[in-house]
Structure formats: structure tokens, C-alpha cells
Amino acid sequence: MLSIARHPLKSTYSVEVSGWDNSQSFFVERSELSWDEGSWKHLTLSHRLCPGTMIFVRLLQPTASERTFPVAYHAEPLATTPEGQQRFRVKCMEPRNASRER
């Protein structure tokens, strides 16, 4: 247990992000998904997205023999980096409950 306290879990992961940008063009881009202390997830993209845009994030595991599946997220723009990329806070989308929609 002491070794876990000395070596915190990795909080940045290589991911593939896909979706439609603000010009309605489909894109696929590699990025880094990171967590902060408040459990928010962040990533930086070269594509511009509208607030609340749905994107798909797939974990890239270089040692995995099986392909991982993408997960849907809402992307909220936070800031633009000095390099012109856009930083986003992302939140996992909740599945709709079919019984509520009736």
C-alpha cells in the first residue's frame, strides 16, 4: 500500500477523438485526455467545436491486442492555447432512459 501512495495513478492517457467540428466537417485527431484533482477530464484539440458538441473518445493502448470502443462525451470549450489549439472540459454522456421518453 505504501508504494501506491508514493506513485499516484497515471492521470493522462493517449486517446483518439472523433466527431464533427463547428464547420460540420468530420474529424479524427489524437490527443491526451487528462484528469485534474476535481475529477474533470480535459483534452486539447486543433479543431474548433461548438459548446456542448458530442465527441467520441477512444483510449489508445499500445500494448492491447484488442481495439477499444469509443465513449461519447460532451465537450465544453475552456480556452485557446498560445498555439491556437482549443482546450476542452469533457463530460461523459449519460444514456437516455427509454421509459422516461414515453
CA dist 49 and 78 (Å) reads 11
Residue 15 lies in a domain: yes
User: Do the Cβ atoms of 57 and 70 come closer than 8 Å?
Assistant: yes
Residue 47 backbone phi and psi in degrees, to 5: -85, 145
Q: Please, what is the average pLDDT of the chain?
A: 84
pLDDT classification of 99: cutoffs 50, 70, 90: low
What average pLDDT does the segment 65-82 reach?
A: 90
Q: Spell out the residues 6+ positions from residue 56 whose beta carbon is closer than 8 angstroms to its own.
A: 17, 18, 19, 70, 71, 72, 73
- pLDDT at 91 (0 to 100): 93
- What is the model's pTM? 0.77
pLDDT digits (tens, 9 = 90+) for 16-60: 999 999 999 999 999 999 987 667 899 999 999 998 899 999 999
31: domain CATH number is: 2.40.10
Q: Which amino acid belongs to residue 42? A: H
Give residue 19's domain range. 11-92
Domain count for the chain: 1
Residue 56 in domain:
yes
Residue type, 97: N
